[in-house]
Amino acid sequence: MPTRTLLRRIHSTRQQIPLLPTRSLFSLFKRAPSKPESKPILSQDDLFHPFSVSPFPALVARGEAIKSLAPCPICASHHARTKAQPRAVAFECPDCGWPTHCTEEHWRADKDHSKYCSRLREVNEDEHDLRSGRRLREFELPGLQDTEAAISFSNWDVFWYTRNFPSMDAERSRRHASKLLTYPITIGSVMHQYSPLTLGNQRLTPEGSRSLAALRLTLHGPTGTPETEEASIDKPQMRIFILGARAESSLPPHVWEQLTLLFPAALFHLYFIGPQVSLPKPPAPTTGDSPSEAASQTTSTSSDPQPEAESSASKPDEEKPIYLPNVYEPPTPAPISRHKRTRSSIERYGVPSYTVPYTPQLTITGMQCNYHEVHGQFQDTFDPYTDLFFMFSPGFGFPSPTSTSDLTGEPLLQVASPTEWGLVLPLLLATKCPIFVTGFSPTDVERDVKSLSLVPGVAGEFDWVITPGENAFGSEKWEVADFDPRVMVKTNWGIWAIRGKRRDVRERRSAF
């Protein structure tokens, strides 16, 4: 074969072989190109929208709910003397975007509206910001804490800094992050050895110091030893019973994991117990299952009987309400996402329930029932060194919607009602474990504390652990009531704690 023909064939063969990509030495240290972030629906300078023209259907629905529930404040003041029914709000304030009055004339005549208008506008913009589609960096939670760095619980700012959170440069980011984390960090700030509640500032009582010292013996390692996961091998679980749980039961597990990261040398089991506890969605049928097999699988693996929250999850989207109004009692949260390790616990507790062993340090159990229904399964196992109770805004001092007094016929306070807390508090005091309670305002805290003195079996049967006062880790976001936009509170504003009274037996020497 001629040499020229052979070279031509070799050249054509080279062209058919694909060349491998080459990388220079310096390109090895370059970052891989990151995916471009999606463009937000709303920019940061376009967050204010009246509810009726909001780009988000849930906020439009909330505005309609307020119009059907809230009375006009001017009508209410005028009709107080005649006892006539005030007209509902229909006019949206152009400054805050909320439905606040029945007409523009009444809006102009209301001199008190300016006192809370700026707060309503703040909430309006916060709600639109959460749905704006921007990257919410304040929700990007940190992982393990550096063992050489101490966490400070002085306030939110210092905590975020010492816990290596993303920088909170805007007040709006602070409000979002504080609302998300107020439940786990409130618990952690109370129990931690660096808690801001001390004998020095008179928030912690001598009895409370003994109770917390017992808990901290389990939570922290011996002085001078590193607090690592390996140190928790021979420790008992710290059990935290969150009673009357509502919104806190719907938080994703990774949010509650922030509590365990404050105590690397401890194990936690969280129990959410209450009639409004959010349960997981039914498991999705596996591919290839017949309809009958899928139905039987759903029935066998989920809690029976199916709670209303789970039943509603299987309805078509058009049947689900876009927004559930908050009328005096918060609605039951939507069913939570099912984790891959979620398992039914109805066989163990006898009520609709689930358990998730989320990490080696954290196990979560939810029970949709009243606490007194399951107390018998725990009553012989309580230990003040490992167990405590938390009640977030339980409403002790509010009148019961279901129970009335046999003597006066008036509604009982919830702290004394057999359908709310009347049967529960004596059981908790008998355990001698600390009971922590939060309130959403100074008035709410005072109302709940005063109600304790009115209940036989509770009054005089407890010692103070933490005196009533402000909670450094309450939410900084205002929550607005749908039944009256003038009513605004902050989740977990205050905190206090009690424990069943200890009566030490003393030997009395005879005079003879």
Answer yes or no: is pLDDT of 499 > 60.
Answer: yes
Q: Does residue 77 or residue 395 have the better pLDDT?
A: 395
Mean pLDDT of all residues in 234-259: 94
pLDDT in the model for residue 232: 67
Q: What is the pLDDT of residue 409?
A: 85
Residue position matching structure tokens 């300016």: 114
Alpha-carbon gap, residue 41 to 132, rounded angstroms: 5
Give the residue, 188 or 75, on which the prediction is more confident. Answer: 188
Task: Indicate the pLDDT class of residue 337, thresholds 50, 70 and 90.
Answer: confident
pLDDT value for 451: 95
Q: Give the C-alpha separation, 263 to 221, whole Å.
A: 9
ω before 305 within 30° of 0 (cis)? yes
Q: Which whole number is the average pLDDT over 121-132?
A: 96
Instruction: State the pLDDT at residue 38.
Output: 74
C-alpha pair distances (Å), 476 with each of 155, 214, 463, 489: 11, 31, 30, 10
Query: What mean pLDDT is predicted for residues 329-351?
Result: 86
Report the mean per-residue pLDDT for the chain: 85
Q: What is the mean pLDDT of residues 262-282?
A: 93
pLDDT digit string, tens, across residues 31-82? 555 556 678 899 999 999 999 999 999 999 999 999 999 999 998 887 655 5
Share of the chain above pLDDT 70, in %: 80
Structure tokens at 366: 């939810």
Q: What is the pLDDT of residues 196-229, one digit of tens each?
A: 999 999 999 999 999 999 999 889 877 666 677 7
Number of other CB atoms surrounding residue 259 within 10 Å: 23
| Structure confidence by residue, pLDDT tens digits, 410-450 | 899 999 999 999 999 999 999 999 999 999 999 999 999 99
Average pLDDT over residues 256-275: 95
- pLDDT of residue 289 exceeding 90: no
Choice among 55-59, 91-95, 286-290 with the minimum mean pLDDT = 286-290
What pLDDT score was predicted for residue 475? 97
The whole model's pTM is what? 0.84
Is it the case that residue 352 has pLDDT exceeding 80? yes
50-64, 226-240, 247-261, 473-487, range with the lowest pLDDT: 226-240
pLDDT value, residue 304? 37
Three-state SS for 381? coil
Q: Hey, how many other C-beta atoms are within 10 angstroms of the C-beta on 346?
A: 15
First to last CA, the chain: 134
Confidence of residue 284 (pLDDT cuts 50, 70, 90): confident
Name the pLDDT band for 316 (thresholds 50, 70, 90): very low
Confidence class for position 7, pLDDT limits 50, 70, 90: very low
| pLDDT grade for 145, boundaries at 50, 70 and 90 | confident
| Contact between 415 and 385 (Cβ < 8 Å) | no
What pLDDT, on a 0 to 100 scale, did the predictor assign at position 15?
Answer: 46
Distance of CA 110 to the CA centre of its chain: 36
313: part of which helix (H) or strand (E)? helix 308-313
Residue type, 486: R
Note the helical H segments in 33-170: 57-69, 73-79, 104-109, 113-130, 156-162
Residue 19: per-residue pLDDT: 45
Q: Is the pLDDT of residue 483 over 90?
A: yes
